[in-house]
């Protein structure tokens, strides 16, 4: 975990029609474009959970993009909390939890 004050880290739980519509792959690609570190995974309750870490502007842009998602997704809610900065650089897909 970094103590760099320029890094913002947010945990997001995204609800709606977000599984089976390529949401995780879309998040991974978009996060890479924005230079974010973190991870994404499906949850057994039908939501998608992700941690985004990077500049405040890039994290805000990612969250705004998640409100729409990929074409087949229908996002109804995004709940966010502060998160610890991921220990490794890059963005990964994690197993369902």
pLDDT tens sequence across 45-58: 999 999 999 999 99
pLDDT digits (tens, 9 = 90+) for 83-92: 998 888 999 9
Q: Which of 30, 41, 42, 74 is catalytic?
A: 42
Note whether residue 62 is domain-resident.
Answer: yes
Is 94 within a domain? no
Residue 42 designated active-site: yes
Which domain range does residue 55 map to?
8-86
Residue ranges of the chain with pLDDT lower than 70? Answer: 1-5
18 within some domain: yes
* Interatomic CA distance for residues 91 and 81, integer angstroms: 19
**Is 97 a domain residue?**
no
Contact status, residue 29 vs residue 4, Cβ threshold 8 Å: no
Of 17, 24, 30, 44, the catalytic one is: 24
**27 is a domain residue:** yes
Q: Could you tell me the CATH number of the domain that includes residue 75? A: 3.30.70.100
* pTM (two decimals): 0.92
Asked whether residue 48 is assigned to any structural domain, the reply reads yes
Instruction: Identify whether 30 is a catalytic site residue.
Output: no
Burial 51-61 (b: 16+ CB within 10 A, else e): bbbbeeebbeb
| Domains identified in the chain, total number | 1
């Amino acid at each position: 975990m970094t103590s760099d004050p320029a890094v913002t880290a947010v945990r997001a739980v995204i609800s709606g029609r977000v599984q089976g519509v390529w949401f995780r792959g879309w998040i991974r690609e978009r996060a890479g474009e924005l230079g974010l570190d973190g991870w994404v995974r499906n949850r057994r309750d039908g939501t998608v959970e992700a941690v985004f870490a990077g500049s405040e502007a890039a994290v805000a842009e990612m969250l705004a993009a998640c409100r729409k998602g990929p074409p087949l997704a229908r996002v109804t809610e995004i709940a966010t909390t502060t998160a610890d900065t991921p220990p490794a650089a890059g963005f990964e897909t994690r197993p369902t939890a």
